[in-house]
Structure 1
Amino acid sequence: MVSKIQDKVEEYAGAAQEAYGDVTDQGDHYARGAARKYASQASYAVKDAADTIKQQVSDKPYAGLAVAAAVGVAFGYLLGRK
C-alpha cells in the first residue's frame, strides 16, 4: 500500500515538473517531468494488476491453477517448436 502511495506522489511531482517546464519553456524539465509521471503511472498500474490477480487467485485457487497450467502448456508448445 505504501508503494502505491509513493507512486501517486511521484506522479504528481512529475506532473508538476512537467508543468514547470512547459511554463518556463524548458524542454529538459518538461521531458523529465513527463518521464517521471508516466513511469510512476505504469508502476502503479502494474502493482494494481498484481494485487488484483493475487486477490482473484486467493478467492478461486482452482481457476488460477487452471489458467497457470494453460499458460504453461502454451509456452511449452511455442518454445518446443523447431
Structure 2
Amino acid sequence: MLGKVEDKVREGAGRAQEAYGRATDSYTDEAQGSARKYASQASYAVRDAADTVRSQVSSNPMGGLAIAAAVGVVFGYLLGRK
C-alpha cells in the first residue's frame, strides 16, 4: 500500500515539474516532468494489477495454479522450438 502512495506522490511531483516547464518555456523540465508522471502512473498500474492478481489467487488457488501452469507450458513451447 505504501508503494501506491509513493507512486501518487511522484505523479504529483511530475505534474508540478511539467507545469513549471510549461510556465518557464523549459522543454527539459516539461519533458522530465512528463516522463516522471507517466512512469509513476505505469508503476501504480503494475502494483494495482499485482494486488488484484494476489487477491484473486488467494481466493481461488486452484485457478491460479491452472493459469500458472498454462503460462509455463506456453513459455516452454515458445522457448523450446527452433
Query: Aligning the two structures, in what range does the TM-score lie when normalised by the shorter sequence?
Result: over 0.9
Pairs within 5 Å for 1:3-82: 3-82=3-82
Q: Spell out, residue by residue over 1:31-79, the C-alpha distance to the aligned partner (whole angstroms, 9 max, x if none).
A: 1100110111111111111000000000000000000000111111111
Residues matched between the structures, number: 82
How far 1:24 sits from its partner (Å)?
1.0
* Letter of the 1:20 counterpart: Y
CA distance in structure 1 between the aligned counterparts of 2:74 and 2:68, rounded to whole angstroms: 10
Q: Which runs of 4+ in 1 moved over 6 A?
A: none
**TM-score, reference length from structure 1:** 0.96
CA distance in structure 1 between the aligned counterparts of 2:14 and 2:4, rounded to whole angstroms: 15
Gaps of 5+ in 1: none
CA distance in structure 1 between the aligned counterparts of 2:80 and 2:27, rounded to whole angstroms: 48
How far 1:3 sits from its partner (Å)?
1.1
Q: Spell out, residue by residue over 1:13-43, the C-alpha distance to the aligned partner (whole angstroms, 9 max, x if none).
A: 1001101101111101101100110111111
